[in-house]
């Protein structure tokens, strides 16, 4: 799952080995689910559909899965080592870290330079 690597849509999805969130809760039923087990039950194509559905539900304020520890809605995110569930704050921090990695030392890569 690195770069533009194509993943077989029928392959079983895999979770990262050390997830930031290891358990999620369904707010309607109260059931707590292990993230590794949750991700592994999906084929990759279904995991991507779940990612889209979770994102849409969070936007509508109807989080389907929340962090079992803090109760914040979670997103399904893809990393080079597998799939992971993250809160919005964790997803933003990850995106900022990637942006810094790719724009380091490039003065024309700032937001201000882009808007100018």
Give the bridge partners for 83, in sequence order. 15, 78
Nearest alpha carbon to residue 69 among 16, 15, 25, 18: 25
Nearest alpha carbon to residue 40 among 84, 100, 2, 71: 84
Residue 11 lies in a domain: no
Range of the domain at 105: 23-115
Residue 4 lies in a domain: no
CA 32 to mean position of chain CA atoms: 18
Q: What is the pLDDT of residue 1?
A: 44
Q: What is the pLDDT of residue 41?
A: 92
Average pLDDT, the chain: 84
Of 19-23, 68-72, 92-96, the one with minimum mean pLDDT is 92-96
- Alpha helices of 8-116 — where are they, by DSSP H? 35-40, 44-59, 88-103, 111-115
The secondary structure of the chain in percent helix, strand, coil, rounded to multiples of 5, reads 40, 20, 40
Residue 49 lies in a domain: yes
Nearest alpha carbon to residue 57 among 27, 20, 34, 16: 27
Q: What is the pLDDT of residue 116?
A: 55
Residue 17 lies in a domain: no
Residue 5 lies in a domain: no
- How sure is the predictor about 97, in pLDDT bands with cuts at 50, 70 and 90? confident
Residue found under tokens 């080995």: 17
Residue 8 lies in a domain: no
Q: What is the pLDDT of residue 67?
A: 92
Q: What is the pLDDT of residue 103?
A: 78
- How sure is the predictor about 6, in pLDDT bands with cuts at 50, 70 and 90? low
Reported as a single tens digit per residue, the pLDDT across 42-64 is: 999 999 899 899 889 888 888 88
Q: What is the pLDDT of residue 111?
A: 65
pTM: 0.71
Number of structural domains found in the chain:
1
């Amino acid at each position: 799952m690195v770069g533009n690597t194509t993943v077989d849509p029928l392959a079983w999805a895999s979770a990262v080995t050390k997830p930031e969130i290891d358990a999620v809760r369904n707010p309607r039923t109260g059931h707590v689910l292990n993230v590794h087990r949750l991700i592994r039950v999906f084929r990759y194509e279904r995991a991507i559909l779940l990612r889209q559905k979770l994102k849409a539900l969070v936007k509508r304020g109807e989080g389907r899965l929340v962090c079992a520890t803090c109760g914040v809605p979670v997103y399904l995110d893809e990393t080079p080592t597998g799939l992971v569930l993250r809160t919005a704050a964790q997803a933003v921090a990850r995106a900022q870290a990637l942006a810094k990695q790719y724009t380091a030392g490039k003065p024309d890569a700032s937001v201000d330079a882009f808007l100018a």
